[in-house]
Amino acid sequence: MKRTLLLSVAAGLLALAGCTTVNTVENAQKEGQRNMISDQRVITDTSLARKVAIVGVNSAMTPGGLLKAQVEIENHTHSTQHFLYHFEWFDANGMQVNNIISASVPEQIEGKESKFIYSVAPNPDCRDFRVKFIEAN
């Protein structure tokens, strides 16, 4: 009985040792207005979606007339999560525009952290975008 209890405590401590969460503070009355856009999601990796959730997507135009997209993500777990993401861009005809901007980017998010990832369209003809997330090994 004692041994089981000790083992349980040890396991609990080990599990907690890998957990670091993030505390945040921000201004309550927001000056800036985010142009939130409705999104369409396809979830095939429920494990990743449960851990790192997409909170919302907003977009804006850069001074040079390029579409800028920003995605807010949140880590629902207490441990650091590693994943890859990449943006795909499409022109007015729905044709994909390949560019280095579409390269996969390794990213990590701390436990319970909320953060933003963004990208800028490769050229002014781009109208739509898609973001893909892949869980790291």
Q: Which is nearer to other proteins, 54 or 85 (CB)?
A: 85
- Smallest gap from Cβ 59 to other proteins, in A, equals 12
32/64 with CB nearer other proteins = 64
CB atoms within 10 A of CB 67: 20
Query: Contact at 8 Å (CB) between 97 and 122?
Result: yes
Q: State the nearest-atom distance from the C-beta of 3 to other proteins, in Å.
A: 25
Choose between 10 and 60: whose C-beta lies nearer to other proteins: 60
- Find where tokens 């861009």 sit: 89
Q: How far is the CB of 52 from other proteins (least distance, A)?
A: 14
Q: How many CB atoms lie within 10 A of CB 17?
A: 8
Residues within the interface to other proteins (CB under 8 A) = 62-64, 66, 68, 82, 84, 86, 97, 99-101, 103-106, 118-120, 122-124, 134-137
Please provide the size of the chain in residues. 137
DSSP helix/strand/coil, 35: coil
